[in-house]
Structure 1
Amino acid sequence: MPRRSYDQYCSVARALDTVGERWTLLIVRELLAGPRRYTDLHADLPGVSTDVLASRLKEMERDGLVTRRRLAPPGAAYVYELTPRGRELLGVLGALAEWGAPELRDPRPTDAVRAHWAAVPLMRHLAALPGVPAGVVEVRLDEGAFHIELGGGTPSYADGPAKRPDAVVALPPGAVRGITGALRDGGAEITGDGPLADALRGA
């Protein structure tokens, strides 16, 4: 099926031709954590149908945002991962997260929640802090844990605890709604002995 276009000679319109379809940017959000199997993507995108997810992934492959590859044994499963062009959308998602933060009031009864959905705004916040050294930050929320790797260019994140974090940030209940505010206002418990933990405590 041919892709619809706004048919406008404008960079905003061209970008929306590629990423403006429903679910596309949320698939990018999931793949920023690294390669994911189709079943994992489907589990962390509540509400998307299997047909729509498959269709979006094919479109994203065609547009050079995503590649599909087979894992080496014993995994032998297919995974999807972002291309360098796809990873460039981190800045777009960070800006959207900042713009949308005021809309995160009390969760609605129908809202799904995943801890790692807070990673994108937090990465943007940490990357903007002056003097924060490279390292791995583990973030613990009531909803679960994820970790962020800073330094070496673009920050990245992964779901779950870190093997050897340089700093651990434990946030109070409900902080997923305003995670950067909890860090700014002293609502986070920060542990660790190295320069990264010290920098976060002083931020």
Structure 2
Amino acid sequence: MSAARVLTWEVSASRGFETAWVQVRDGVLRARGRAVGTEPEPYWVTYDLDAGDGFVTRGLRVTVETAGGSRTLDLRHDGGGGWSADGERLPAVDGALDCALGLCPLTDSVPVLRHGLHRGPGEVELLMARVSVPDLAVRPARQTYTHLRPGRIRYACGDVRGDLECDEEGFVVDHPSPARRLAAV
């Protein structure tokens, strides 16, 4: 693996921040991240994301802490389109290759990288295993990504529509959720 890149976003939708330590090499992405938010209630999130060969998600492990306590989720992809959460099958998201952690701009980089949408033409509509924060419920969601020009991708998921801005490596800089990456110091 290459040296970790550190990415930090201000996430207006949660009135919080997220930082991720990301390693990418040969179609594999590994990341660990932490986020703090105050909407819909104050929470902390820690996660580990593993996207294997060809940037296909293999797993997401998440812990959320709120005033009411902590909860965890171990979301796994079997490599053949099947998903499980804490060992229980999730047939509603069968066929998805990606997960989308709520209010986490990093997880949108995975399908962008897999399809090269930050560099060249294309449009994909994807079924996602969407994980809401802070409750960690997993639901199916359709997300569409359309290359507009290098570094700019039209994004649509439910009521959230707008343009993703990505850097030359495919990592989200600006997200319509809204979230904006902070410059490194």
TM-score (norm 1): 0.27
Q: Which has the larger radius of gyration?
A: 1
Structure with greater strand percent: 2
TM-score (norm 2): 0.29
